[in-house]
DNA sequence: TTGTCTCCCGTGGGGAGACAA
DNA sequence: TTGTCTCCCCACGGGAGACAA
């Protein structure tokens, strides 16, 4: 039984059903998608209700908002747009705002207009909410005023924070076997394939349209491209690079285009970027007008091709790729966004801010269209669908105690699975060569976002420390040496103190650099809940 | 592909490896067991160390203990037995008690003797601990006084509290498929089968001896039996009942005895009981003298049958049964205990109270015997299988905690914990090593961060030891040689004691150096780990 | 001897205006 | 207009003896 040998690297599917879901613990949204192979008839579902224009606002939490002292500042225009008007004749007008979250729980906030100068605030009720949702500075608060009075609240976490902690008794191998076996069963029995899409982490379902487009583009070695990313504040960043290699990187999955393009980025970036990408993630490098044009074309076609839009390629995940590489590629919060993205449309807006709830998208179109709308919404928003995401383990560097649990997991799995051995030796070597000396990721404890240093531009440890202090705005803290420790993971996966090796040796073997506090953190759980700034 | 049809309902296996583990979040203990089908040869490990007498106590938390007001009352005899003596000449004698938990975290408690009448209390530090571990009334606190001053704390939760929450995106089908596929692969490839045993919830591994016994007992419909359970305060409860049905209840697994007996209980009970049981869970109803007799017989036989003791039946789990009923990890807390249980023997007491184990058996027997001895030790104590004291959820092992430290702590400590002892960036600057020659990594147990020594700059073992003491801030500890063992992995991957080879030879073959506690070395030998870093 | 209660008091945090970016 | 600070004050909870089981 080696189902992997008999499963093609991609499967043409139709969308059978889509369920929007919320993780009850984390408020993380995801979509459960049921797919059938394209040979099977798709059922025709009930038309959708009509989407109405919706008032809403979102605000990235400031340090004050998320601190334990006091409440939440509401921007004036947000208060006016989304809350019932206050009786301004009173000295300190106030009212109670009630709103439900994605789980259906009701939250009550005292909305008060006070202070000198006057401003809008949430006081009573806010800290309960912030504590319950474990909000920290940088996370976002979303408020949607319901037409019927039923308002909604939602959150969106800043950098990619920990999703689900995998049960410690479920190994990656197990999940992997489970997924492949499930897919195989679905193929054999013409059964549905149930998959999960998590925004910003799933990468295994691609809309057929997108896939075909990518195949037609014919990316060759040496050709230049751009790829959209998401910055810390959710805005789009676009980086350009050059394709330097093109092949099947997984021996298990022949003819898989998934991450088949090896790339070199033009410039350094503040966010981590993969060194292998899939054709559908990138665009040919073009002038802005070109981009606009191709966008328009694409938009047009998407309106015509309802049928194809409902079809998806399911990229079967590969052991070497997903399991082996996930730790490298994952923390990348890669949101591809198409230039055609109408970020002003309410539905896409909602998705972007993780308040998908309650499908208000309503059309009289048929299911295919309906699905397609939703899929497109997702696709437009992120261009990545899906995955049984072997997820949490993906995001290994960021902060917090949870993260640590995951780190252990990874280490453990490495030990068990000998992951390194599963990927082809060539691949490993190639990767080392590419990552050596040019771009090295740096992570700092309690900072969710990784940075990158180019060691080839530095001439020694002192220089490196200067650079790190600059990157993380540490002034002289690292040189002062009373709080931080600098360590690195080497090419053998060991974590070593920075400074023991000669500089050139260090540059050759360093994979990632970490800055950690020296302080013994006794209570990991508690420490993990505090915001970096307040702690 | 329907592997389920081709996997027998039970597999005869030998124990290949056992790893004690702790869930970092919950302090829940579990064991990772690697099994090989009985056809494969089992390797022969080194005999076991001697278990020493250990002082410990456990206390079920009262409402006052777990309330947010005030501290923790310590019974007088516990304080006297387990804490250093207080200076009773003072008006309110007090001291600080330091102890590590299974994760290696240190907890500090103020132990004070005060009030009228005088009593022993934990004050400062207790509430932090109780909060962090999320203790509630009814949970238990465990304290073990280490011989070397390194005391240990642990917890044991009262009723079966929820263990790992399965990730919302991993379906039961997926796990099920994963498990069956993994087992199938192991069968086909004669590979190891890795399973996880969780005390009080796993029921799929049974010692061969126990299984054969059960088969010989021939339980028939209408025959009466007793079955042991565990009450809320961890004491044994024994309920009797009658067998009312007997058949394969799972259509998937033919000839499976697993939960093949439908039963009716004699009386109502305060704890949930299953209505289907497996033959090895129950005993024929008998008078106490009969029980004693059969116990003696069994004990005798167990000494004769070294070979069979190391074999296990792995009951392949079935969809309806495992996935459905045990909900992945937790369910009815069925503790089998044999009437022969000598609950006065220290080991059984320890196990029952979640303080374990280290098999006190030392023998010069071979692996099979060794494994078997472990099994028998456990079996004698509780008749519950596996490994080294799996009884309690928070089972702790004085030496075992180190083991855990390794599995779970490595990265964490690397990042946060024990960093303080290490060199600082300042030191780094002045300490640039010129030689690019021989750099050898050194790792110390419970220190996450590796260091490097240059052996070419050293002229012998003594020098090396000096250097190691410097690197890890050990003063004279290595020379004192009462706690640490220095070992190395050589160019053939073997782990050897440092000092046996001539210095130049050593320099030629050493790959990595490890500093381990002597205890840990023993554990490694016991568990058969191949290198300190993995264990 | 030890579980619970009540009293005492310090800390932390929610709510307010001040102030400055 | 809105983010941060500081001040104020109260509630919560840790530490103590009282008291009773």
Distance of CA A464 to the CA centre of its chain: 29
Backbone angles phi, psi at A243, to 5 degrees: -80, 125
Q: What is the largest CA-CA distance in chain B?
A: 83
A533 in a domain, yes or no?
no
Nearest CB among A32, A392, A494 relative to B441 is that of A494
Chain B contact set for A388 (CB, 8 A): 169-170, 174
B374 in a domain, yes or no?
no
Burial environment of residue B268 by CB neighbours within 10 A (0 to 12, 13 to 18, 19 or more): exposed
Same domain, B23 and B146: no
Residue A16 has pLDDT above 90, yes or no: no
A508 vs A394: which has the higher pLDDT: A508
Q: Which residue in chain A is spatially nearest to B512 when comparing CA positions?
A: A494
Chain B contact set for A25 (CB, 8 A): 165
Q: Residues 89-128, chain B: which have Cβ under 7 A from strand D?
A: 92, 110, 112, 114-117, 121, 123-127
Assembly ipTM: 0.53
Determine which of A97-101, A303-307, A520-524, B248-252 has the lowest per-residue pLDDT on average.
A520-524
CA of B122: nucleotide with nearest C1': D15
For residue B151, give the CATH number of its domain.
2.40.330.10
DSSP state, residue B505: H
Q: Which residue in chain B is spatially nearest to A186 when comparing CA positions?
A: B1
CA of A123: nucleotide with nearest C1': C15
> Under 8 Å CB-to-CB from A479, ≥6 apart: which residues?
A465, A469, B425, B426
Across chain A, what does the average pLDDT equal?
62
Determine which of A13-17, A54-58, B90-94 has the lowest per-residue pLDDT on average.
A13-17
Q: DSSP for B215-233?
A: HHH---TT-EEEEEEE-TT
pLDDT digits (tens, 9 = 90+) for B416-444: 222 222 222 222 222 233 334 567 888 77
Determine which of A122-126, A385-389, B113-117 has the lowest per-residue pLDDT on average.
A385-389
Query: For residue A372, what pLDDT is reported?
Result: 22
Q: How far is the CA of B233 from the C1' of C7 (A)?
A: 33
Angle made by CA atoms B334, B337, B342, in degrees to the nearest 5: 150
Chain A contact set for B426 (CB, 8 A): 479, 481
pLDDT digits (tens, 9 = 90+) for A151-171: 888 888 875 555 444 444 555
Distance of CA A180 to the CA centre of its chain: 24
Query: For residue B369, what pLDDT is reported?
Result: 18
Helices (H), A221-266: none
Q: Considering A153, A171, A197, which residue would you say is the last residue of a domain?
A: A197
Query: For residue A171, what pLDDT is reported?
Result: 59
- H or E segment at B523? helix B518-527
B355 in a domain, yes or no?
no
Same domain, B13 and B144: no
Q: DSSP for A254-318?
A: TT--TT-EEEEESS--SS---SEE-GGG-EE---HHHHHHHHHHHHHHHHH-HHHHTEEEEE---
B85 vs A399: which has the higher pLDDT: B85
Asked if strand D comes closer than 7 Å to A115 Cβ, the answer is: yes
User: What's the mean pLDDT in A416-437?
Assistant: 26
Contact A169 B425 (CB under 8 A): no
Same domain, B472 and B519: yes
Structural Rg of chain A based on CA atoms: 24
Beta bridge partners of residue B96, listed in sequence order: B110
Residue B319 has pLDDT above 50, yes or no: no
User: Domain range holding A127?
Assistant: 55-161
> Under 8 Å CB-to-CB from A211, ≥6 apart: which residues?
A280, A313
Determine which of A125-129, A174-178, A184-188, B353-357 has the lowest per-residue pLDDT on average.
B353-357
Across chain B, what does the average pLDDT equal?
62
Q: Which residue in chain A is spatially nearest to B436 when comparing CA positions?
A: A502
pLDDT band, very low/low/confident/very high, at B117 (cuts 50, 70, 90): very high
Burial environment of residue B304 by CB neighbours within 10 A (0 to 12, 13 to 18, 19 or more): exposed
Residue B297 distance to chain A (closest CA, Å): 37
CA of A131: nucleotide with nearest C1': C13
Contact B411 A416 (CB under 8 A): no
Q: Among residues A405, A331, A404, which one has the least CA distance to residue B415?
A: A404
Query: For residue B511, what pLDDT is reported?
Result: 84
Chain B contact set for A465 (CB, 8 A): 425
pLDDT band, very low/low/confident/very high, at B535 (cuts 50, 70, 90): very low
pLDDT band, very low/low/confident/very high, at B104 (cuts 50, 70, 90): confident
B402 in a domain, yes or no?
no
Mutate which of A181, A484, A523 to test chain B, going by most B C-beta atoms within 10 A?
A181
A201 vs B404: which has the higher pLDDT: A201
Nearest CB among B174, B408, B451 relative to A175 is that of B174
Q: Are the CB atoms for A489 and A327 separated by under 8 Å?
A: no
Query: For residue A163, what pLDDT is reported?
Result: 47
Q: Which residue in chain B is spatially nearest to A28 when comparing CA positions?
A: B168
pLDDT band, very low/low/confident/very high, at A445 (cuts 50, 70, 90): low
Contact A478 B425 (CB under 8 A): yes
**Total number of domains constituting chain B:** 3
Query: For residue A126, what pLDDT is reported?
Result: 96
Residue A34 has pLDDT above 70, yes or no: yes
Query: For residue B450, what pLDDT is reported?
Result: 73
A261 in a domain, yes or no?
no
User: What's the mean pLDDT in B451-468?
Assistant: 83
Same domain, A475 and A505: yes
B148 vs A68: which has the higher pLDDT: A68
Query: For residue A360, what pLDDT is reported?
Result: 22
Is the Cα dihedral B216, B220, B223, B225 positive or negative?
positive
Q: Considering B179, B197, B215, which residue would you say is the last residue of a domain?
A: B197
Same domain, A119 and A86: yes
Residue B180 distance to chain A (closest CA, Å): 8
For residue A451, give the CATH number of its domain.
3.10.20.90
A412 in a domain, yes or no?
no
CA distance A65 to A122: 9
CA of B112: nucleotide with nearest C1': D15
Same domain, A10 and A155: no
Beta bridge partners of residue A53, listed in sequence order: none
Residue B290 has pLDDT above 60, yes or no: no
A453 vs A352: which has the higher pLDDT: A453
pLDDT band, very low/low/confident/very high, at A417 (cuts 50, 70, 90): very low
User: What's the mean pLDDT in A227-237?
Assistant: 69
Is the Cα dihedral A202, A208, A209, A213 positive or negative?
positive
B72 in a domain, yes or no?
yes
Query: For residue B130, what pLDDT is reported?
Result: 94
Residue A211 has pLDDT above 60, yes or no: yes
Contact B166 A170 (CB under 8 A): yes
Mutate which of B198, B416, B448, B453 to test chain A, going by most A C-beta atoms within 10 A?
B416
B340 vs B6: which has the higher pLDDT: B6
In what side-by-side order are the strands of the sheet with B451-454? B451-454, B439-444, B510-517, B484-490, B495-497
Query: For residue B84, what pLDDT is reported?
Result: 93
Residue B455 has pLDDT above 80, yes or no: yes
CA distance B126 to B141: 11
Backbone angles phi, psi at A336, to 5 degrees: -80, 135
Q: Among residues B514, B488, B512, which one has the least CA distance to residue B501?
A: B488
A380 in a domain, yes or no?
no
Query: For residue A128, what pLDDT is reported?
Result: 93
Contact A498 B428 (CB under 8 A): yes
A361 vs B129: which has the higher pLDDT: B129
Query: For residue A218, what pLDDT is reported?
Result: 82
pTM: 0.54
Contact B30 A169 (CB under 8 A): yes
Query: For residue A326, what pLDDT is reported?
Result: 22
Chain B contact set for A514 (CB, 8 A): 414-415
pLDDT band, very low/low/confident/very high, at B241 (cuts 50, 70, 90): very high
Query: For residue A325, what pLDDT is reported?
Result: 23
Residue A245 has pLDDT above 70, yes or no: yes
Residue A331 distance to chain B (closest CA, Å): 17
Report the percentage of chain A scoring pLDDT > 70.
50
Residue A31 distance to chain B (closest CA, Å): 9
pLDDT digits (tens, 9 = 90+) for B186-202: 777 777 777 776 666 55
Same domain, B42 and B168: yes
pLDDT digits (tens, 9 = 90+) for B40-87: 544 434 333 334 467 888 899 999 999 999 999 999 999 999 999 999
Asked if strand D comes closer than 7 Å to A119 Cβ, the answer is: yes
Regarding beta strands B29-37 and B510-517, do their DSSP bridges make them parallel or antiparallel, or are they unpaired?
unpaired
Contact A496 B452 (CB under 8 A): yes
Residue B344 has pLDDT above 60, yes or no: no
Residue B525 has pLDDT above 70, yes or no: no
- Range from A212-226, A389-403, B57-71, B361-375 that averages highest in pLDDT: B57-71
Same domain, B44 and B131: no
A318 vs B142: which has the higher pLDDT: B142
User: What's the mean pLDDT in A320-328?
Assistant: 24
Same domain, A10 and A147: no
Determine which of A40-54, A510-524, B322-336, B452-466 has the lowest per-residue pLDDT on average.
B322-336
Asked if strand D comes closer than 7 Å to A88 Cβ, the answer is: no
Q: Which residue in chain B is spatially nearest to A496 when comparing CA positions?
A: B450
User: What's the mean pLDDT in A437-448?
Assistant: 65
B25 vs A344: which has the higher pLDDT: B25
User: What's the mean pLDDT in A314-330?
Assistant: 30
User: What's the mean pLDDT in B360-369?
Assistant: 19
pLDDT digits (tens, 9 = 90+) for A329-347: 111 111 222 222 222 222 2
pLDDT band, very low/low/confident/very high, at A48 (cuts 50, 70, 90): very low
Q: DSSP for B280-315?
A: GG-EE---HHHHHHHHHHHHHHHHH-HHHHTEEEEE
Regarding beta strands A29-37 and A205-207, do their DSSP bridges make them parallel or antiparallel, or are they unpaired?
unpaired
User: What's the mean pLDDT in B486-506?
Assistant: 78
Asked if strand C comes closer than 7 Å to A117 Cβ, the answer is: yes
Distance of CA A95 to the CA centre of its chain: 37
CA distance B424 to B441: 18
Same domain, A139 and A85: yes
* Cβ atoms < 10 Å from Cβ of B290: 13
Q: Which residue in chain A is spatially nearest to B25 when comparing CA positions?
A: A405
CA distance A527 to A534: 11
Residue A263 has pLDDT above 60, yes or no: yes
Q: Among residues B207, B404, B201, B341, which one has the least CA distance to residue B349?
A: B341
User: What's the mean pLDDT in B469-491?
Assistant: 74
Regarding beta strands B261-265 and B276-277, do their DSSP bridges make them parallel or antiparallel, or are they unpaired?
antiparallel
Same domain, A96 and A152: yes
CA distance A94 to A96: 7
Chain A contact set for B450 (CB, 8 A): 494-497
Residue A242 has pLDDT above 70, yes or no: yes
Angle made by CA atoms B405, B523, B42, in degrees to the nearest 5: 120
Can you state the percent helix, strand and coil of chain A, rounding each to 5?
35, 25, 45
Same domain, A12 and A99: no
CA distance B515 to B490: 15
Determine which of A462-476, B350-364, B462-476 has the lowest per-residue pLDDT on average.
B350-364
Residue A309 has pLDDT above 50, yes or no: no
Nearest CB among B128, B424, B441 relative to A481 is that of B424
Asked if strand C comes closer than 7 Å to A91 Cβ, the answer is: no
Distance of CA B32 to the CA centre of its chain: 9
Contact B434 A502 (CB under 8 A): yes
pLDDT digits (tens, 9 = 90+) for B90-100: 889 999 999 98
B8 vs A200: which has the higher pLDDT: B8
B94 vs A417: which has the higher pLDDT: B94
- Range from A7-16, A381-390, B50-59, B195-204 that averages highest in pLDDT: A7-16
């Amino acid at each position: 039984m080696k189902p992997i040998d008999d499963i093609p690297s991609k499967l043409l599917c139709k969308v059978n059903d889509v369920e929007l879901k919320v993780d009850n613990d984390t408020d993380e949204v995801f979509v459960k998608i049921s797919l059938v192979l394209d040979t099977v008839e798709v059922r025709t579902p009930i038309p959708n209700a009509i989407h109405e224009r919706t008032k809403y606002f979102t605000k990235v939490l400031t340090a004050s908002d998320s601190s334990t002292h006091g409440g939440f500042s509401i921007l004036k225009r947000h208060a006016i747009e989304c809350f019932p008007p206050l009786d301004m004749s009173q000295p300190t007008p106030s009212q109670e705002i009630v709103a439900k979250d994605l789980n259906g729980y009701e939250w009550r906030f005292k909305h008060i207009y006070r202070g000198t100068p006057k401003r809008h605030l949430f006081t009573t009720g806010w800290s309960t909410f912030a504590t319950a949702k474990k909000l920290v500075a940088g996370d976002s608060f979303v408020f949607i005023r319901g037409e019927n009075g039923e308002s909604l609240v939602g959150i969106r976490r800043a950098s990619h924070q920990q999703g689900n902690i995998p049960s410690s008794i479920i190994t990656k191998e197990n999940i992997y076997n489970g997924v492949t076996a499930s897919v195989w069963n679905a193929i054999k029995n013409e059964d549905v394939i149930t998959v999960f899409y998590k925004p910003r982490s799933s990468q295994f379902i691609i809309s057929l349209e997108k896939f075909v487009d990518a195949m037609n583009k014919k990316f060759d070695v040496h050709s230049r491209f751009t790829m959209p990313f998401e910055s810390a504040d959710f805005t789009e960043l676009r980086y350009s690079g050059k394709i330097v290699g093109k092949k099947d990187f997984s021996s298990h999955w022949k003819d898989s285009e998934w991450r088949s393009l090896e790339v070199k980025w033009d410039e350094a970036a503040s966010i981590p970027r993969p060194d292998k990408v899939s054709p559908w993630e990138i665009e040919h490098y073009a002038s802005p007008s070109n981009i606009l044009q191709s966008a328009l074309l694409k938009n047009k076609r998407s309106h015509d091709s309802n049928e194809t839009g409902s079809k998806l390629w399911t990229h079967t995940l590969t052991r070497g790729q997903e399991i082996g590489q996930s730790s490298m590629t994952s923390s990348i919060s890669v949101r591809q966004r198409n230039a055609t993205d109408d970020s002003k449309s309410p539905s896409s807006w909602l998705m972007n801010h993780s308040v998908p709830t309650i499908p208000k998208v309503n059309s009289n179109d048929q299911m295919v269209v309906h699905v397609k709308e939703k899929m497109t919404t997702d696709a437009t928003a992120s261009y990545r669908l899906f995955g049984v995401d072997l997820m949490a383990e993906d995001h290994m560097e960021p902060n917090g105690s949870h993260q640590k649990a995951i780190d252990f997991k990874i280490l453990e799995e490495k030990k068990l699975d000998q992951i390194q051995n599963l990927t082809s030796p060539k691949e490993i070597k190639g990767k080392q060569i590419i990552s050596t000396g040019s771009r090295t990721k740096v992570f700092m404890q309690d900072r969710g976002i990784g940075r990158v240093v180019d060691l080839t531009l530095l001439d020694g440890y002192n220089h490196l420390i200067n650079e790190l202090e600059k990157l993380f705005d540490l002034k002289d803290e690292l040189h002062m040496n009373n709080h931080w420790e600098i360590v690195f993971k080497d090419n053998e996966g060991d974590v070593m103190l920075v400074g023991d090796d000669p500089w050139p040796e260090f540059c050759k073997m360093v994979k990632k650099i970490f800055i950690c506090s020296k302080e013994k953190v006794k209570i990991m759980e508690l420490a993990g809940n505090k915001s970096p700034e307040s702690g």
